[in-house]
Amino acid sequence: MTKILLIDDDPLITEPLSRTLRDYKYEVEVAGDGRKGLTRALENRPDIVVLDVMMPDMDGWEVCRSLRKQSGVPILMLTALGEEIDRILGLELGADDYLTKPFSSRELIARIKAMLRRVQLDRQIEPETVLSIGPVQLNLDKREVHKDGELLILRHKEFELLNLLMSRAGQVVNRADIFDLVWGTDWLGDTRTLDVHIRWLRSKIEENPKQPRLIHTVRGVGYKFVAG
């Protein structure tokens, strides 16, 4: 049974959400504050973490940042904040998706199902395949990326995005194809998510992310990976 960890300090949210998720046959665990949530996420290894932003003591931003340093579990953030900068911050810290309150339970379930489908696809990668371009080596079997021999820590989406671009090195991959192949055709989120993930990926593999030599932007079309 799929395990979902819900981290939120408001029982008016956690109780109905828990009921809804259990109705859909998910196993649900609730943590009433950020510190407990972080501990349970690391100890109990849920399949998805649904994380509220606004919590006292340790807020969702801090939980997301700390969790992402130690785990690649998919994170869906819940926020009452409407500013674009807040949504982008969540993605930059490592969240895979976000929902702005108020939201419908149908939308929440759709997001969770889409995230789970992507995880399943990630696990079906053919083994024994290595891509080596310039200073970057990507191993599909081990799901590892090295740059100049140093292991890089990438999340699911970062790995899949880099895999796609490297597998088509020298070619421009348009934005629509990237969303279809990395996020899935049922992606419901903000299309600017791609730009955030590209920026995040560049921060890990480029010598100077502001002047990228490996991942090139082709304005109005998409992105291209080159040898550097």
pLDDT digits (tens, 9 = 90+) for 58-92: 999 899 989 988 888 899 988 876 656 566 677 77
Does this model's pTM top 0.75? no
Domain ranges for the chain, please list them. Answer: 3-122, 130-225
Query: What percentage of the chain exceeds 90 in pLDDT?
Result: 54
Position 127 confidence tier, pLDDT thresholds 50, 70, 90: very low
Mean pLDDT rounded to a whole number for the chain: 87
User: Residues 167-173: what's their mean pLDDT?
Assistant: 93
User: Residues 161-176: what's their mean pLDDT?
Assistant: 93
> Residue 46: how many CA atoms within 13 Å on its side-chain side?
25
User: Residues 150-161: what's their mean pLDDT?
Assistant: 89
List the single range of 6-20, 108-122, 190-204 with lowest mean pLDDT: 108-122
pLDDT at 52: 92
Structurally, at CATH architecture level, domain 3-122 sits in: 3-Layer(aba) Sandwich (3.40)
CATH, domain 130-225, list 3.30.2350.10, 3.40.50.300, 3.20.20.80, 1.10.10.10: 1.10.10.10
User: Residues 119-128: what's their mean pLDDT?
Assistant: 58
pLDDT at 62: 93
Q: Which of 218, 11, 195 is nearest to 88 (CA)?
A: 195
Three-state secondary structure readout of the chain: CCEEEEECCCHHHHHHHHHHHHHCCCEEEEECCHHHHHHHHHHHCCCEEEEECCCCCCCHHHHHHHHHCCCCCCEEEEECCCCHHHHHHHHHHCCCEEEECCCCHHHHHHHHHHHHHHHHHHCCCCCCCEEEECCEEEECCCCEEEECCEEECCCHHHHHHHHHHHHCCCCEEEHHHHHHHHHCCCCCCCCCHHHHHHHHHHHHHCCCCCCCCCEEEECCCEEEECCC
* Residue 128 pLDDT > 70: no
List the single range of 14-28, 61-75, 115-129, 130-144 with lowest mean pLDDT: 115-129
Beta bridge partners of 101: none
For residues 23 and 17, what is the distance between their CA atoms, to the nearest angstrom? 10
Q: Which of 224, 228, 195 is nearest to 213 (CA)?
A: 228
